[in-house]
Structure 1
Amino acid sequence: MNPKVDAFLKREDKWRAELEKLREILLGSGLTEELKWGQPCYVLDGKNVALIHGFKEYCAILFHKGALLEDPKGVLIQQTKNVQAARQIRFTSVNDVTKLEKTLKAYVRKAIAIERAGLKVPFKKTEDFELPEELASKLAKNAKLKTAFAALTPGRQRAYIFHFSQPKLSKTRAARVEKNIPRILEGLGLDD
């Protein structure tokens, strides 16, 4: 048990009991407990296997390579369409955790086996992501912008693609593209 995680759980009001039960399951698997990104994280030889965290409506166990896990119980959730590797199992009560304890232990064992085998999640390449029409249109009309966008690192390109794709309304997507054109032309990413 990690004292930093003890302190984290003492501060957790809403999901303490659920997170403590998840912690017990994960520690029982032989994983090492750390605090990463402000959350309890369970590692094998320095490699992240699982993380537990609380949200407003639920708490969850997140498997870092969850996309590689077989899910016969159908409990793994892909948080958003852009999440490629991680998968969550969500809970709203200790009873939810207890009911799935046997399944959780099996999934943790599988996640450890995946890490031991050195398996990697095959990530989509930037060019595999569909460009939002508003960005594609600007790139087609502006050669300088197209060249500048192509010169960005793949990670910066993906960040822009995700950022521009999020709004439901075309006018909002177009406004985001327009607002960020100067940054793209300067070779900057969203967070630079």
Structure 2
Amino acid sequence: MKKIYSVEEYIEEHQNFGEALTLLRAIINSTDVGETVKWSAPVYTVNGKNVLGLGAFKKHFGIWFFNGVFLKDEHKLLVNAQENKTKALRQMRFKTIEDIDKNLVLLYVKEAIENQKLGKEIKPERTKKKTIIPEALKAILTSNNKLKLAFDNLSPYKQREYCEYIDIAKRETTKQTRLEKIIPMIIQGVGLHDKYKNC
């Protein structure tokens, strides 16, 4: 699919729903949202935050509500695009222009804008990576208190870098060579790749 740079281009690209998309765009733009293009599709924002977007597919078109989970949806117009996967995103789908009830669409759009202004949003969960210390490194850390203290003082990211560096070595001799290389670096409190950063 070609990169889209404007809403007009997007509507042109989806001519089969062109009139309907133009109508939805007019309804949305009658509110105080900002219009932009992200991921080659029209997106509407409030204070720089994504609120909703337009989408067109083979057999349907509609509005994406980025935090649609907070909409009351009293008229049961919203669907979850991927059940058990999508937490916040909801779609309002249409098959023809006749399916569009302007007043209802505006009601949902205004509620989504208000929710954004109130700060209602689901933030993506950041999963913490667990650092698994390879046996060879663990043995040295256990027998060397100074090294263990220095390793514990490293950031989790730097600890993972060192662990992966040892872990990916296939041969025992390579693991040993790498261990000898990283011991002074750990004691200095530097990361494995620090010398390449800020070059």
Is the TM value for this pair above 0.5?
Answer: yes
SS at match of 1:22: helix
Partner of 1:89: 92
Alignment of 1:11-160 (within 5 A): 11-81=13-83, 82-97=85-100, 100-121=101-122, 150-151=130-131
CA-to-aligned-CA distance 1:97-139 (integer Å, 9 cap, x gap): 1xx2111111111111111111222767869xxxxxxxxxxxx
SS of 2:81 mapped into structure 1: coil
The one-letter code matched in structure 2 to 1:49 is V
CA distance in structure 2 between the partners assigned to 1:151 and 1:14 by the alignment: 52
Is the Cα–Cα contact under 8 Å of residues 39 and 52 in structure 1 kept in the other structure? Answer: yes
Query: CA contact under 8 A between 1:68 and 1:121: conserved in structure 2?
Result: no
**Residues of 2 paired with 1:102 and 1:24: CA distance?**
12
Q: Give the TM-score normalised by structure 2.
A: 0.59
Gaps of 5+ in 2: 133-166, 169-199
Structure 2 counterpart SS, 1:88: strand
Task: Tell me: CA distance 1:105–1:151, structure 2 relative to 1, closer, same or farther (3 Å).
Answer: farther
Relative to structure 1, the CA distance from residue 151 to residue 56 in structure 2 (aligned partners, 3 Å threshold; closer, same or farther) is farther
Separation of aligned partners in 2, 1:126 and 1:90: 32
Q: Look up the match of 1:161.
A: none
Question: Quick check: 1:41–1:52 contact (8 Å CA) kept in 2?
Answer: yes
Mark the structure with the bigger radius of gyration.
Answer: 2
Distance 1:11 1:95 in 2: 21
What are the equivalent positions in structure 2 for 1:148-187 lying under 5 Å apart?
Answer: 150-151=130-131
User: Cα 1:122–1:47, aligned 2, differ >3 Å: closer, same or farther?
Assistant: closer
**What's the Cα RMSD here?**
2.4
Q: Retained in 2: the 8 A contact 1:52–1:60?
A: yes
Separation in structure 2 between the aligned mates of residue 8 and residue 120 of structure 1, nearest angstrom: 27
Cα distance between partner residues in 2 of 1:107 and 1:77: 13
The alpha-carbon deviation at position 24 of structure 1 amounts to: 0.6
Q: Distance in 2 between matches of 1:92 and 1:150?
A: 46
Task: Please give the alpha-carbon distance, in whole angstroms, between the structure 1 residues aligned to 2:124 and 2:43.
Answer: 22
Q: Which amino acid aligns with 2:93?
A: R
Letter in 2 for 1:84: K
In structure 1, the gaps of 5 or more residues are 128-148, 153-184, 187-192
* Partner residue, 2:8: 6
